[in-house]
Copies of this chain bind each other. A is one copy, B any other.
Amino acid sequence: MARRRNARGHGDRLREELLDAAEELLAEAGDEREVTVRAVVEKVGVTPPSLYLHFDDKAALIREVVARRFGALAAATSTAASQHPDDPAAALRAGVRAYLGWARDNPGGYAVLFSTHRETQLLRPDGTGGSDAFDNLVERVRRCQEAGVARDGDPHLLATLIWSAEHGIATLSVARPHFPWPDVDHLIDELLQRVVGLPGRVSS
């Protein structure tokens, strides 16, 4: 009814516009089921069938949006960790903080990343995608051990514990806002100190 531009130029810019619109709606709503096909196409200014020229179905659209946000999360943690090239303990801590900071600032965006029944592997041939963020975490733990600032133990298992805890904090703090949460930075310090034996905060 309130459509604006009917004739679109050539090319598949529409595809990007649909992804952008879906990403914005997701960030606003914070809930996947409010991101409706009809709302996405209306935001762009086309009719529902146009979406199916570029995506198999709604799930495929959401899947690509999720992949984008995974990239943003991985970039945020990597960037934060790389600020401390000569201090493995600070790098590990900065990565965890950036992870939880990103989840706090993108509550809806974080939740969908792990919504159930998204069995499709997000791994891309170019290596970017889902799980190399975890590999980076393993690597950061290993560097701490080599530098002697972390206790011994299987780095994969330690990273799994850290990842589980930070994911738990990220989701529960959104789902249970009335719970008496301790200060998140303090929680992270305690987690890292107790799980991998990281010394208390030293700098920054």
Q: Which residues of A contact B (CB under 8 A)?
A: 30-31, 33, 107-108, 111, 114-119, 121, 131, 134, 153, 156-157, 160-161, 163-169, 171-172, 174-182, 186-187, 190-191, 194-196
Question: B121, A116: Cβ atoms under 8 Å?
Answer: no
With known contacts A116-B30, A179-B131, A195-B194, A164–B165 Cβ distance under 8 A: yes
Given the known inter-chain contacts A164-B168, A165-B161, A187-B157, please indicate yes or no for A177 contacting B31, CB distance below 8 A: no
- The answer to whether A167 and B171 touch across the interface, beta carbons within 8 angstroms, is yes
Show 8 residue pairs from A and B whose CB-CB distance is below 8 angstroms, ordered by the A residue: A114-B175, A131-B179, A160-B187, A161-B190, A164-B172, A167-B168, A194-B195, A194-B196
Q: Which residue of B lies closest to A118 (CB)?
A: B175
Q: How far apart sit A26 and B156, CA to CA, in the bound complex (Å)?
A: 34
* Contact of B30 with A33 in the complex, beta carbons under 8 Å: no
**What B residues does A115 contact at CB under 8 A?**
175
Q: Are B191 and A161 in contact (CB under 8 A)?
A: yes
Whether B178 and A121, one on each chain, are in contact in the complex, defined by CB atoms closer than 8 angstroms, is yes
A180 with B156, Cβ < 8 A, contacts A116-B111, A167-B171 known:
yes
- The docked-state distance in angstroms from the alpha carbon of A171 to that of B167 is 9
Question: Chain B residues near A160 (CB, 8 Å)?
Answer: 181-182, 187
Q: Which residue of B lies closest to A195 (CB)?
A: B194
A164: chain B residues at CB < 8 Å are: 164-166, 168-169, 172
Set of chain B residues within 8 Å of A134, measured between Cβ atoms: 179
Chain B residues whose C-beta falls within 8 Å of the C-beta of A157 in the assembled complex: 182, 186-187, 190
CA distance A121 to B178 in the complex (A): 8
Least CB distance from A185 to B in Å reads: 13
Q: Which B residue sits closest to A165, measured CB to CB?
A: B165
A172 with B161: CB separation less than 8 A:
no
